Amino acid sequence: MTPRAAAGKVLGRDGLVRRFGLPGRTERVVFTNGCFDLLHVGHVTYLEQARALGDVLVVGVNTDASVQRLEKGSARPYVPESDRALVVAALEAVDAVCLFDEDTPAELISALVPDVLVKGADYAVEQVVGRETVEAAGGRVELIELVEGRSTTELVRRIAEGAGNE
């Protein structure tokens, strides 16, 4: 199988909805979202598990302005949005990436209406943005356990402390 170019998997909202949206969709579409500022093993594991829940994995990536509004710290994001989108798209588990500028992915989820909406198990199902949209269309929400001790916040802390590899 020929690898797909990462740049071809980064889509605008309209292109994403044309390719993976309703009606007429035949694949089971899984959606998740995040900042993906410094990609690490926790992200890769999470995205692989999300992909296993369907036929297609679509990832919404927060724009730089959206990340800054999330109060992740004044220096965040460390990596520009176009780079973050391309790096996430380069992962084999990911079928499409779409940047979103809103504070939440609610509008993107409403436009796409995925079959499965995925977030980390640090959320309660009731807290997952877009849950009502997905469930009203007959879809479901899945929570995935996070890899202990593997987060961007933890990685940044270790770098700041000058910590070496474990």
- CA–CA gap between residue 142 and residue 10 (Å, rounded): 24
Amino acid of residue 103: D
164: helix, strand or coil: coil
Q: Indicate whether 58 belongs to any domain.
A: yes
Omega within 30 of 0 (cis) for the link into 105: no
Strand order in the sheet with 29-34: 96-100, 56-62, 29-34, 116-120, 140-144
Q: Indicate whether 96 belongs to any domain.
A: yes
Structural domain boundaries, residue 26: 6-160
- CA–CA gap between residue 112 and residue 36 (Å, rounded): 20
Q: Indicate whether 166 belongs to any domain.
A: no
Number of domains in the chain: 1
Q: Indicate whether 1 belongs to any domain.
A: no
Residue 4 confidence (pLDDT): 81
Q: Which residues of the chain fall below pLDDT 50? A: none
pTM: 0.90
Q: Indicate whether 137 belongs to any domain.
A: yes
- Residue matched to tokens 């910590």: 163
Helix (H) or strand (E) holding 166: none
What's the CATH code of the domain at 155?
Answer: 3.40.50.620
Residue 161 confidence (pLDDT): 84
By CB neighbour count within 10 A (0-12 exposed, 13-18 middle, 19+ buried), where does 71 fall?
exposed
What the block records as the tokens of 78 is 């460390």
Beta-bridge mates of residue 116: 30, 140
